[in-house]
Amino acid sequence: MKLLVTGGAGFIGSNFVMYMLEKHPDYQIINVDALTYAGNLENLKSIEGNANHTFVKADITDAKAMSELVQQGVDVIVNFAAESHVDRSILEPDVFVKTNVLGTQVLLDAAKRHGVTKFVQVSTDEVYGTLGETGLFTEESPLQPNSPYSSSKAGGDLLVRAYHETYGLNVNITRCSNNYGPYQFPEKLIPLMIQNALNNKQLPVYGDGLNVRDWLFVKDHCSAIDLVIHKGQPGEVYNVGGNNERNNLQVVRAILEELGKPESLITYVKDRPGHDRRYAIDASKITRELGWQPEYQYESGIKETIRWYLANPEWMERVTSGAYQDYFQTQYKDR
C-alpha cells in the first residue's frame, strides 16, 4: 500500500509515520509537510534512511505539487496537515482558513482526479463545540465550533463530506480528543507546562483552570487511524477518545508533582476568548464497529511523556527558536 501522509513532520503525523513503518514494514509512505514552525524533521530522525519513507517539503494548498505527488500511485491519503493551535488562530485566523479549508479541498481534488481509494481526514472533537458538566460528543452531535481553529477544521470536514456525497470519493473523518506524548510542540498545555516547570518559570493557567479535556496518548490515536484506513466504512465519521477527563489544574499539578516542583509556579492568567469549557468523547462506535481499544493508561502515558521530554532537552532547545520566543511575547503580553 502506498500512503500519502500530510503533516508528517508535526506531532501526531510524525508519531503516525513511525507507527505505520513499524507496524506495516511493506507499506510505502510519502510524507509531505510544509515545515511551518510546527513541523520539524528532527521528529523523523529515527527513520532516516528507511527506503519506504520519502519526505517532500511542499504546501498542501499547492494544487500542482499535490497532484504530482498523488499521481505517483498513491492508494490512501491521510490528512494531518493543519494549523493546529487555538491561541494562534485567535491572533491570526487567515492562515487557518487557508491550510485547513483550502488545503483540504486541494487534497480532495487530487484524490478524486487520480483515483485514490481512500481519503482519511484527521479532525478534532473541537468541531462539536463545548459541553456542560455532563454528556458526551457522539458522531451525531451538531457541529458548533467556537474558535477560528475549530471552525476551519469543521469547514475542512464539510468539504470531505461533500466530496463523498457529490463525487463518491471514499472518505472517513476521525474526530479525536486531546493528544499528548513525545514530539508535541511546547505551545500546547502539557509540553508547555513541562518546559516551564523544568526552567522554574511560571505556569500560565487560563481562567479558573477548571476547563476539562479528554486526554489520549498519541500512539492510541495512531492505532485508531490505522484501523480506519483498513476497516472504515465509506463516508463514516469515527470519534476517538481516551475516556480520561481531567481539568487543566489536575493536569498541571500532576506534572509539578512528577517533576518535584512547587505549586507556587502556577499563575492564573486571563482566560482564552471563547474558551470551550469541556470536551468528552463517546468513542463507542469505533470500538464496536472497528474493534479499537486504547492501550495506554493516562497515568503511565503521562509519566512516559515526561520522561521523554527529560531525555530530549536538545529537541526542546532547538524547536524553541527565536520565532517561538516572539510568539510567547505576543500571546502572553496582556494576560
Kindly tell me which residue out of 77, 103, 145, 217 binds ligand NAD, with binding defined by CB under 6 A. 103
Question: Minimum Å distance from CB 280 to ligand TDX?
Answer: 12
Catalytic: 180?
no
The position carrying cell 483540504 is 104
For residue 222, state whether it binds ligand NAD (rule: CB under 6 A).
no
Span of 78-86, 113-121, 234-242, 253-261 interacting with ligand TDX by CB under 6 A: 78-86
Question: Minimum Å distance from CB 44 to ligand NAD?
Answer: 10
Question: Minimum Å distance from CB 335 to ligand NAD?
Answer: 22
Kindly tell me which residue out of 84, 100, 174, 195 binds ligand TDX, with binding defined by CB under 6 A. 84
Question: Minimum Å distance from CB 276 to ligand TDX?
Answer: 7
Helices (H) and strands (E) in the chain, counts: 13, 12
| Interface positions, 17-36, toward ligand TDX (CB under 6 A) | none
For residue 10, state whether it binds ligand NAD (rule: CB under 6 A).
yes
The sign of the CA dihedral 162, 163, 169, 174 is: negative
CA 207 to chain CA centroid, Å, is: 24
For residue 64, give the C-alpha cell. Answer: 500542482
x/- map, 241-280, ligand TDX, by CB under 6 A: -------x-----------------------x--------
Kindly tell me which residue out of 34, 116, 159, 222 binds ligand NAD, with binding defined by CB under 6 A. 34
Kindly tell me which residue out of 5, 192, 224, 265 binds ligand TDX, with binding defined by CB under 6 A. 192
Contact assessment for residue 104 and residue 32, using Cβ atoms and an 8 Å cutoff: no
User: How far is CA 66 from each of CA 60, 72, 243, rounded to the nearest angstrom?
Assistant: 6, 10, 36
CA distance 21 to 238: 23
Kindly tell me which residue out of 60, 69, 192, 212 binds ligand NAD, with binding defined by CB under 6 A. 60
For residue 118, give the C-alpha cell. Answer: 481512500
What backbone phi and psi angles, to 5 degrees, belong to 105?
-65, -40
146's CB contacts (< 8 A; 6+ apart) are 126, 129, 130, 274, 276
User: What, of ligand NAD, ligand TDX, none, does residue 53 touch, CB below 5 to 8 Å by kind?
Assistant: none
The strand ranges marked E within 59-209 are 76-79, 118-124, 171-176, 178-180, 203-206
The catalytic residue positions are 125-126, 149
